[in-house]
Structures are given as structure tokens and as C-alpha cells.
Amino acid sequence: MKYEKLSKNALRCMYCAAMTGTVIVLLILGAAYYIIPQNPFTGWINMGLLILAVITVLNMFISPYFRYHLYQYAIDEEYIDIVEGYVFVERNIVPMERLHKVKTERGPIDRLFRVEKVIVSTAGGDVRLRFLDVEKADWIADTLKKRINEIAAAQRNSSLEA
């Protein structure tokens, strides 16, 4: 089985999302700096806020790089296999006969970089193929929908024969 990698648009999208999250966290930390009343522990609290700000900024540069290079997926006749993560790498393997529903989703940052998510629903929950080019995501969604229909038809026929 050959694993697919993401396009460069995905990396750009990951960096943009990381920057957006970092700006929000830095605004919250900045507000906390001004809101915290003066007390004997203010110096320690400010040091903690500074450390959190530095970690957040470093994460903004490091996280997308590793997430992009670790993310891979494979789809064949038997199952969908997705490997993703950064600190904790997660692998999801979904058998085709467990698929119930397929949909695509795009957020504002996704639209900006022309990427999309394919969300596959099973009885056990949802699995997401993230950061796919729009054309590729649409093709995967259509292919999986056809496969779901084939499996449903085969199950219907086998229940009629029994």
C-alpha cells in the first residue's frame, strides 16, 4: 500500500492556522498580564506568562512542519489508513465495510488555501482526512460514497437471498 502525502497548500494552511491560534493565545496572555493584581507572586506569574508566550511562538514555527511531514494516508479496497500527529502520533484504520457517511468540510482558512477535510463517519465515530486539495478531497469523497453504496447493495442482496 502506498501512502499519500499532502500538498504544499496544506503546509501553508497549517502555518496560517498556527499563526492565528498563536495570536489569540498571545492576546489572552497579554490581557492576563494587565488583569492580574499586584501581589507578592506577581513576578513569578509574569515569568510564567512570558514562558507560555515563548513556548506558544516556538510551537507556531515547529508544529506545522512536523505535522505536515508526519501526516500520511492511504485508501484501498479494504480500508482507510490515516497517520497524523505531532507530539503524539495517531494512526486510524477504518475498514470500508464500517463506513456509514462521507462529507466534506472547509473552514475560512481552508478556503483561503484551497484545502478541504473529508469526514468519514462510522458507528464508532468520525475520522478526518485533513488538508486535502479541493479536487482530491472531492474525488475521495465521491469514491468513498460509491463504495458505501456498493457495500449497502451487497448487504441488501445477501439479506434478500437468505
**Strands 79-85, 89-95: pairing kind:** antiparallel
Q: What is the mean pLDDT of residues 77-93?
A: 93
Residue located via cell numbers 460514497: 145
Residue 162 is predicted with a pLDDT of 61
pLDDT tens for each residue of 17-36: 999 999 999 999 999 988 88
Q: Is the predicted pLDDT of residue 14 greater than 90, yes or no?
A: yes
Residue 33 pairs in a beta bridge with none
pLDDT of res. 151 = 85
Average pLDDT of span 124-153: 92
Q: What is the DSSP string of 88-155?
A: SEEEEEEEGGGEEEEEEE--HHHHHTTEEEEEEEETTEEEEEEEEEHHHHHHHHHHHHHHHHHHHHHH
Residue range 23-74, pLDDT digits in tens: 999 999 999 988 888 778 888 988 999 999 999 999 999 999 999 999 999 9
For 76-161, the fitting CATH number among 1.10.760.10, 3.30.70.3270, 2.30.29.30, 3.40.50.300 is 2.30.29.30
pLDDT for 16 equals 97
Check whether 132 has a pLDDT greater than 90: yes
Strands of the 79-85 sheet, one edge to the other = 72-75, 79-85, 89-95
pLDDT in tens, 87-120: 999 999 999 888 989 999 999 999 999 999 999 9
Global pTM value: 0.85
Where does the pLDDT of residue 155 fall: very low under 50, low under 70, confident under 90, or very high at 90 and above? confident
**If residue 16 lies in a helix (H) or strand (E), which one and from where to where?**
helix 8-35
Task: Name the β-bridge partners of 93.
Answer: 81
